[in-house]
Amino acid sequence: MPVEVTDAEVEVFRPGRVLHTLLGGLMELALASVCLGLASEAGARNQSAQTSLAAAALLWLVLGLRDLARALLRARVTRAELGPEGVTTHGLLGARSWRWDQLSEVQVSRRRTRLVTRDGRASRLWAVSGPAQGARFQARVTARAEAAAAAGMIRQRPVGGPDTLRPHRPDRPGQGRRGSDQPDPAGSGGTTP
């Protein structure tokens, strides 16, 4: 259940593949124990078979522990919400929020989705998994930030595409369309267009 809309104002993204990753990790640990048991039985008869089975047990152990850690990291964040004020993640340790004007971009890669703030800090979103759900999250964050900027809720609005949020700098009085502070050629003290 990647995305659900609870009401008109809040969109909820839930982590996927938690149970699948947990079961995969448990299966890999079971394979590691079987390989280790076979290695101890084969040790009396064949040294090279014991070494190969011990190496296979070590490999399955590492893979199993990695998958268990990934499942626990995904399970600790129960959901990510896109609301009128910004993005909020809810987990076992409480909630963490970012306002629209604090966000710089949403980075989506093959395995992770990260929120980057304007000061350069990146936070991985465990509630958003995979590139397809990450792309949907990125598009919804950009659309929500643009809507909040258009409604005047924030002073900075996203521009430049679906993958970046950049500050909006309105023209100040006394500046031309290009924002040049150079006096105009006629010398009237205005600015050049």
- Is the alpha carbon torsion for 154, 156, 157, 163 positive or negative? negative
Is 27 exposed, middle or buried, given 0-12, 13-18 or 19+ CB atoms closer than 10 A? middle
Q: At what angle do helices 18-42 and 47-75 cross, to 10 degrees?
A: 160
- Is the alpha carbon torsion for 51, 56, 62, 65 positive or negative? negative
Beta bridge partners of residue 86, listed in sequence order: 99
- The whole-angstrom separation of Cα 73 and Cα 29 is 18
Prediction pTM value:
0.57
* Secondary structure (3-state) at 159: coil
Six-digit token string for 77: 């964040």
42, 53 contact by CB (below 8 A): yes
Q: How would you write the pLDDT of the chain (193 residues) with one tens digit per residue?
A: 444 544 457 888 887 778 888 999 999 999 999 999 999 888 878 888 899 999 999 999 999 999 999 888 888 888 889 988 899 988 877 888 999 888 888 999 887 889 999 888 998 888 887 888 889 999 999 888 888 888 776 654 444 444 445 433 334 344 444 444 444 444 444 444 4
